[in-house]
Chain A
Amino acid sequence: MNAQFKKGIIELCVLSLLVEEDLYGYAIISRLSEFIDISENTIYPILRRLTLDGYFETYLEASTEGAPRKYYKMTEKGFVFYMKLRDEWNAFIGGVYQIINQGGKKNEAIFERFKNRTQK
């Protein structure tokens, strides 16, 4: 998949995690990697840029295993950005979904129709 496109989606995924709870860096990365293949993209630069842009704040909190961890927390500005991005994404993906499934979802049916249309 196009790297730039995927980056935008990962950004939305990161925002979706942080809208629910404050998380530390590694937790964000491993949470994402449970669901999607992140080997082609780096997550940390996205986290850092969203923080520099004021969408997240960070704070340190002691952990049970030694050094304190940096937690990321969504700001109000981040929330507004998230809602906008999510709406855009929903509108976009809704349209895509309609187009790719206009003839139904079943592969067999699509194959059947294609065969009938091309083998006259």
Chain B
Amino acid sequence: MKQFLNDLRTELKSKGFSDFEIADIISDHEEMFQTAMNDGQSVEEILSKLGNPKRLASDLADSEHKTTHDEMDSDYHLWQSFPGPFVALNVFVKMINEDIVYRRSANDAVHILYEGDGKVSDYNLSLDGEQLRLESKKERGFFLFGHGRILNFVIEIPDGLEMLEHHGVNGDYQLLGIKGKGAKIVTTNGDMQLEDLSFDTLTWHTVNGDIDAKHLKLRQLESHQVSGDIDMTDSEVRERFYVHTVSGDIDVNHAQIGSLDIETVSGDFSGEECYPKEISFRSVSGDIDVKNRTRTEIKILNTRSISGDINIDH
């Protein structure tokens, strides 16, 4: 079994899986192997059912590392490129209903792509030094009366990002594979998908939007929301993970967190395989449930809920 797990770990590493993903896959196989052995099965039998490590790793890579860029790009046209390199790029974007994808640039330039039935002349785009601005010229009220011709954008960001600031109302946002010092996202209804991000500080404010996050590497995360849910997996927040919510639920799986600090009225926190060093949870009726396969020391500070359940394995 040891041999199998070691080989699997090596194969997964060579396929570019993250440490979190590897730990997850390995512990699943440890469990399956153990269960099969308890059933009295021979190692050969188990291997024939689970598959050999090389095969497993390559099947996992095939089914998960799908590239969606190519399919998506056929609809998008390049609007403008700003050549780099940048050392402290600031990106400021203000939108209304537009969907925006922020993703990593393949070179050191910023590229802006668009699609949709709107006109580029309805938007201001400028680069001043290392300040990039993209703004919708229209006022919010205009859209409330239903003239909805808009564009959706892909903004490709190179290395050297200092700050990304985004304001939107309804659009959906994706942030994929970007790294930088800071990011701040303010939205009312938009949903957010965050993947493979590395930031010093990440802050978001949302009313209804849901957040789906995986593979984040952050020092600090601050989240303010009213009813949006957060679903986070395979991530690391080295210092403080702060959430302020009214009724949004928070689900964290496979994470490493320095200090977890949650204020909620009725939202629940549920963490599986998440290992905060300390927890502070204040709530009226929210539940907190932390389940880990490995026991670790968790310091519990200031944790109370008036009618919610507190359940922390430690």
Interface residues of A (CB under 8 A from B): 24-27, 29-30, 33, 38-39, 41-46, 48-49, 52, 58-60, 63, 65-70
**Are A60 and B272 touching (Cβ within 8 A)?**
yes
Bound-state CA distance A45–B64 (Å) is: 9
Chain B residues near A41: list those with CB within 8 A. Answer: 51, 59
Stretch at the interface among B24-32, B110-118, B133-141, B145-153: B24-32
Which partner residue on chain B sits nearest A32 by CB separation? B49
CB-defined contacts of B32 to chain A, threshold 8 Å: 25-26, 29, 44
Q: Is B49 touching A38 in the complex (CB atoms < 8 A)?
A: yes
CB of B106 within 8 Å of the partner chain? no
With the chains together, A39 CA to B55 CA distance in Å?
11
The reply to whether A44 and B55 contact each other, CB–CB distance below 8 Å, is: no
Interface pair B291/A42, CB less than 8 Å apart:
no
Which of B34-42, B80-88, B181-189, B298-306 is near enough to bind chain A? B34-42
- The reply to whether B63 and A49 contact each other, CB–CB distance below 8 Å, is yes
Residues from chain B with a CB closer than 8 A to the CB of A66 are: 34
The minimal Cβ–Cβ distance linking B58 to chain A, given in whole angstroms, is 9
The contact of B60 among A48, A60, A65, by CB within 8 Å, is A48
The minimal Cβ–Cβ distance linking B66 to chain A, given in whole angstroms, is: 9
Q: Nearest Cβ distance between residue B15 and chain A, in whole angstroms?
A: 12
When C-beta atoms are compared, the residue in chain A nearest to B35 turns out to be: A26
Tell me which of A44, A52, A58, A63 contacts B51 (CB under 8 A).
Answer: A44
Q: List 5 A-B contacts (CB under 8 A).
A: A41-B51, A58-B272, A65-B34, A67-B34, A69-B31
Q: Which of B34, B39, B50, B291 contacts A44 (CB 8 A)?
A: B50
Q: State the Cβ distance, B235 to closest chain A Cβ, in Å.
A: 14
Check A42–B55 contact: CB distance below 8 A. yes
Assess whether B67 is interfacial by the CB under 8 Å rule: no
CB-contact partner of B49 in A30, A46, A48, under 8 A: A30
Q: A42-B59, A69-B31 are in contact. Are A60 and B291 (CB under 8 A)?
A: yes
The CA-CA distance from A60 to B270 in the complex, in Å, is: 12
A52 to B34, alpha carbons, bound, how many Å?
Answer: 24
On whether the beta carbons of B29 and A44 are closer than 8 Å, the reply is yes
Rounded to whole angstroms, the CA-CA distance of A69 and B27 in the bound complex is 10
Q: Which residues of chain B are within 8 angstroms of A60 by Cβ–Cβ distance?
A: 272, 291, 293
Bound together, the chains give a CA A43 to CA B48 distance in angstroms of 11
Complex alpha-carbon distance, A105 and B309, angstroms: 62
Q: Closest residue to B63 on the A side, CB-wise?
A: A49
Instruction: For residue A91, give the distance in angstroms from its CB to the closest CB of chain B.
Output: 25
B56 within 8 A of A: yes
Alpha-carbon distance A69/B36, docked complex (angstroms): 12
Chain A hits for B64, CB < 8 A: 45, 48-49, 52
